[in-house]
Amino acid sequence: MTEAVAIIGDRFMLPRLFEEALREACGEALTIRSLEQPWPDEPMEHGYAKAGMDGLKEYMGEPDDIVAFIDDAPILVTHLAPLSAAMMDRLPHLKLVAVSRGGPVNIDIVAARERGIKVVNTPGRNASAVAEFAIGAILSQTRMITRGHDALRRGDWRGDLYRADLAGDELSEMTVGVVGYGHIGARVVRLLKAFGCRILVTDPYVQLDPADSADGVRQVPLETLLAESDVVTLHPRVTAETTGMIGAEAFAAMKDGAIFVNTARGPLVDYDALYDALVSGKLRGAMLETFAVEPPPEDWPLLKLPNVTLTPHIAGASVKTVTYAAGQIAEDVRRYLAGEPLLRLC
């Protein structure tokens, strides 16, 4: 007997890679149909923008189209397709939803649980990619890479960046504060150790790995981290507790001339307060990969500052992220078919 699987991928999480991983894990026990959505070439939507999609964030696809495609399939494998309570009520055969995201914010998890639909996700799928990116983000600011690049693009040879009063500092002489010690933050710490910097970590819910403690990494309160760090890099999830956690008070508590890096999520930061800290000279610079509104408005003041490096939310964009997530999904589908416990049940 074969089970029907509906795959809804996109131009990052390619449907064919989902299918290849499923075939390798499950053999021919599946009947697969696939749909490719146009993300990231076209933007996602948010639940508050449509009636009946309350509680969903960062999704792509019209509900009627998604329901019609899934139809009678008991298994849905997706990246961005939405699944609201009302949609679930139209899919009585659906039993398993596998979402290739660290946080399945496009699925109403409570509604799924109430209807007996199991949901699995892929925590840490892009941890390696984002951690590597964070190191590059830090170096872009500490070593004046962005300023030198921007100047050359304008035809300006910034030889003055070799001046002692302008030259960037080396990480080996700096204290780096890592806020959040989950999948990504822990990897950032591991990479930072190779540079010989002093490392501080704050996370009220996770204890340091003994290997990090043995290597001199210190776990401290946020207040201590802000006061002592030359670089502060953010890696927590967005929750009610962490939303806006870095604002005017936090920037005031940071060292004069510190550098701020956000490769996590925009809602963690009060960007108006960050602008003030950068313009006043309180902070030396910032690197921003995520924003409160994406894409940010063209007239957004932070886009104009010379001491800010910006990228369009691409830290997790690596081929390894795709193949790793597809493999995680395939293993849980295999376990579901075999009646084994699911590894990543939400």
Catalytic residue set = 265, 294, 313
How far does Cα 65 stand from its chain's mean position?
A: 27
Strand partners, 199: 176
- Write the CB contacts of 25 (distance below 8 Å, at least 6 apart in sequence): 327, 330, 331, 333, 334
Torsions phi, psi of 86, nearest 5?
Answer: -65, -35
> % helix / strand / coil in the chain, to the nearest 5?
40, 20, 45
**Cβ neighbour number for residue 10 with a 10 Å cutoff:** 23
| Greatest Cα-to-Cα distance within the chain, rounded to the nearest angstrom | 72
Question: Of the candidates 147, 164, 165, which has an alpha carbon nearest to the alpha carbon of residue 156?
Answer: 147
Contact 121, 103 (CB under 8 A): yes
CA 139 to CA 190: how far, in whole Å?
16
Token pair in block for residue 34: 């696939």
Q: What is the dihedral of CA 72, 33, 330, 188, to 10 degrees?
A: -110
Calpha distance 267→269 (Å, rounded): 5
Q: Are strands 258-262 and 283-288 parallel, antiparallel or unpaired?
A: parallel
C-beta separation of 234 from 269 below 8 A: yes
Whether cis (ω within 30° of 0) applies to the bond prior to 295 is yes
Cα separation, 44 vs 41, in Å, equals 10
